[in-house]
Amino acid sequence: MKKYKNQTLLLLIIALFILPFFLNSYWLDVLTLVLFYVVLTQGLNIVVGYTGLLDLGYAAFFAVGAYTTAILMTTFHWSFWLTLPVAFLFAVIAGVIIGTPTLRLRSDYLAIVTLGFGEIVKILATNLEITGSASGIYGIPRPAIGSYIMSTQKDFYYLILIVAILSIIAVYRLGRSRIGRAWIYIREDEDAAEAMGINRIRLKLLSYASGAVIGSIAGSIFAVKMSAIAPLSFSFLQSVMILLAVVLGGLGSIPGVVIGAVLVIVLPELLRGADDWRHLIFGVSLVAMMIFRPQGIWPSKNGTEDATDMDENGKSNDPNQSMSV
């Protein structure tokens, strides 16, 4: 059975590698966007799916990567590949900055603080001179491998495909590691996890930082692919779309969030003409999903199938929180 599964995966990967030769440029672009979302959803999956921390400002990390690469390449004329470790470092710092104040917060406060941070990053990008204000940064150079300059659609498709595969492997391995099990434990019962000797603070920060790094890599590639970036790409709606993909697919489930990414990007393309309805349909499907199938389209299996079990504490009555009159 397992062997069979591996073969299917291998076939799928081969198919993805030869697909560009059969697609027209429009669908190749859509597929590239899907792969960007696959990377982003994997990153968010660590934070929301594994660790159970609702992050409504995930696009901020996407922005950190994109702006770091863009600024280093345009203002300081760095090579694209050299900007990646810097973006990595900044993402870790951003993850820790956002993570630290949120460690003490309950899940709903956490959501709103991350939302606030996300908005602050966007406002910074809109107002600062170094980020090109509201019009953003344009004329970002193309990356080069040796003497070959990546410029065609296919080049970027393969680049993001490789990154997507690597991030899936990384997130899969992380989820099954000691760290991943600790994250899931924290999600299921934070106090019990702490009692068992899990360093809650360190692991939560690690979760934020890992998610941030994956998001920022997607951002760096996004910057060189588009060759122009603007604050609008990193709005709250972007964060919501990434979250929607994770929720639709199934929190904590790797194949699930991949399917979620495909749905969120491809459905609107199929529904062209109904463009105005797109976000309304997404909004309604979020509600319907939570009511009728909170575990997602393809829920994760090992011990986490009951995604509705998250944050058990949330139910308890806390008189300190009551309406004081």
Residues that bind other proteins (CB under 8 A): 48, 52, 54, 56, 101, 104-109, 111-113, 115-117, 119-120, 123-124, 126-127, 236, 240, 243, 247, 251, 276-280, 282-287, 289-291, 294, 308-325
Least spacing, CB of residue 155 vs other proteins, in Å:
35
The contacts of residue 174 (CB under 8 Å, 6+ apart) are: 46, 50, 180, 210
Least spacing, CB of residue 194 vs other proteins, in Å:
11
> Taking the CA of residue 156 as centre, how many other CA atoms within 13 Å lie in the half-sphere pointing to its CB?
24
**Residue 151 in contact with residue 142, Cβ under 8 Å?**
yes
Select 227 or 235, whichever has its Cβ closest to other proteins.
235
Query: Crossing angle for the helix pair 153-176 and 178-188, nearest 10 degrees?
Result: 70
Least spacing, CB of residue 95 vs other proteins, in Å:
16
CB burial readout 205-235, b (16+ within 10 A) else e: bbbbbbbbbbbbbbbbbbbbbbbebbbebbe
**Scanning the structure block, which residue is given the tokens 């491998």?**
145
Select 92 or 111, whichever has its Cβ closest to other proteins.
111
Select 147 or 324, whichever has its Cβ closest to other proteins.
324
**Residue 245 in contact with residue 261, Cβ under 8 Å?**
yes
Query: What span, in angstroms and rounded, lies between the C-alpha atoms of 323 and 319?
Result: 9
Select 106 or 176, whichever has its Cβ closest to other proteins.
106
Select 137 or 244, whichever has its Cβ closest to other proteins.
244
Least spacing, CB of residue 309 vs other proteins, in Å:
7
Least spacing, CB of residue 321 vs other proteins, in Å:
6
Select 187 or 225, whichever has its Cβ closest to other proteins.
187
Least spacing, CB of residue 19 vs other proteins, in Å:
32
* Residue whose C-alpha is closest to residue 270's, from 26, 36, 22, 16: 26
Select 77 or 104, whichever has its Cβ closest to other proteins.
104
Query: What span, in angstroms and rounded, lies between the C-alpha atoms of 321 and 124?
Result: 34
Secondary structure of residue 36 in the 3-state scheme:
helix
Least spacing, CB of residue 286 vs other proteins, in Å:
3
